[in-house]
Amino acid sequence: MERFFERLCRYQIVPLLVLLALLAACGDDRRGGTTDAPTPVAPAGPVRLSIGLLPEQDVFVQRRRYTPIAEYLAAATGTEIELKIIRRYGNVMEHFRRKQLDGAFLGSFTGAWAIETLGVVPLARPQYPDGVSTYYGMIFVRKDSGIRSAADTKGKVCVFVDPATTAGWLLPLHYFHDHGIPFEDDWFKEAYFSGSHEDSIRDVLEGRADIGAAKDLVFDMVAQQEPRVREELEILAVSPPVPSNTLSVRGDLDQELQERLKQALLTMHETPAGIKALEEFGAVRFLATGREDYQPVFVYARAVGLNLADYQEK
C-alpha cells in the first residue's frame, strides 16, 4: 500500500505542480501587461438619425417624396437616416421631448411652436421650380355653395386640418376672428379636423364640408391630379407667406453634425447626385432658414391670443 501511494504521488502530484507553475507564470504576464496584445475595440458605426415627416398627404406619397433627400443626406454626412411618419401634427412635439426624433421637416406652425417651446433649430427649406420657398394658407369653398364672405358661413360645415398647422387652423382662426366670429359660438353647424391638407381639400370637393382650409402647395398638387379642384373650388382668403417645410433639429444635437446637415442641404444643387434627389423631390435647391422667417406665424398667433410658449392642442 505504501509503495502504491508513493507511485500515485510521483505520477499525479508532480504534473499538478507543473500545471500550477505554468498558470502562475501566465498570471504574472497578465499583471505585467507586457505580453498580451490589447483587446481590439470594434469601430463605432455611423450616427443614426431619426427624421420626422408630417402627415400632409397620403403617408406613402410623403415617404416616397422625401426618401431621395434622406438618402442624399445620409451619403453626404456619413450618417444613417430613418424617416418616421408622424400620425398627428402635434405629436411631433412629444417625439422631440422624448428624443425619439433628432429632426423633422416642420411646417410653419409646428416650426414656430417647436422653436418657441423646445429650442429646435431650423436649418434649411426647399425652393421650388417657380422660385418660391414659402407657402400660404387658403380658405376655400365650392363655387356652387353660395358662400362669398365670412357672413355666409353661418350654419355651414367647416373642415380644418389640425390645431398645429398655420394653413389648416391658424389662418381660419385669424380670418373668422377678424370678422368677429368666435369659434366657441354656435355659428357653424359643425367644425372638425380632417388630419391632412389633402383630406380637407377632398372633403370640400366632394361636398362633405362647405368651407375648408389647407396650404396652397398641397392644393396645387391635388389640382394637378384632379382638374376638378380648380374647376369647382374657389378661394375666399389667403394668409401671408410662411416658410415651406423646413428641416429642423433638436437644439442639443451635436453642433458639428448640425452644420454638416445644413451644408449638405445648401450645396446639394451643386452635385449630380444632389440635383437628381432634388428633381425627384420636386425642388431646385434648399435655402438657409432661421427664426426670423417665422415672424408671420408669431404675429398671427398673437393676434388671436395664442401663446406658442405654452400652447396646448385642443
Query: Per DSSP, what are the bridge partners of residue 139?
Result: 213, 237
What are the cell numbers at 44?
463605432
Other beta carbons within 10 Å of 160:
26
Q: Identify the pLDDT of residue 190.
A: 94
**What CATH class is the domain 48-133+243-310?**
alpha beta
Least confident of 30-44, 73-87, 160-174: 30-44
Report the distance separating Cα 231 and Cα 222, nearest Å. 12
CATH architecture of 137-239: 3-Layer(aba) Sandwich (3.40)
pLDDT at 31: 38
- Inform me whether the pLDDT recorded for 30 exceeds 90: no
pLDDT at 36 > cutoff 60 = no
Q: How confident is the model over 96-115, as pLDDT tens digits?
A: 999 999 999 999 999 999 99
Instruction: Choose between 127 and 9: higher pLDDT.
Output: 127
- For 43-59, the pLDDT digits (tens) are 455 699 999 999 887 88
CA 123 to chain CA centroid, nearest Å: 12
Taking only the tens place, the pLDDT of each residue in 168-219 is 999 999 999 999 987 767 899 999 999 999 999 999 999 999 999 999 999 9
CA distance 217 to 281: 13
Q: Check residue 45 and give its pLDDT.
A: 57
Residues 268 and 283: their CA atoms lie apart, in Å, by: 11
pLDDT given at position 161 = 95
Which are the contacts of 93, defined by CB distance < 8 A and separation ≥ 6? 110, 113, 114, 117, 118, 164
pLDDT band at 313 (very low <50, low <70, confident <90, very high): low
Name the percent of the chain lying above pLDDT 90.
Answer: 75
1-27: per-residue pLDDT in tens?
A: 333 334 333 434 334 333 334 434 444
Indicate the average pLDDT of the chain: 86
- Asked if the model's pLDDT at residue 28 lies above 70, the reply is no
Domain ranges for the chain, please list them.
48-133+243-310, 137-239
Whole-number pLDDT of residue 104: 97
Residue 306 scores a pLDDT above 60: yes
> What is the structure's pLDDT at 310?
83
- The pLDDT, as a whole number, for residue 3 is 39
pTM above 0.85, yes or no: no
Cβ atoms of 99 and 48 closer than 8 Å? no
pLDDT tens across 273-288, in order? Answer: 999 999 999 999 999 9
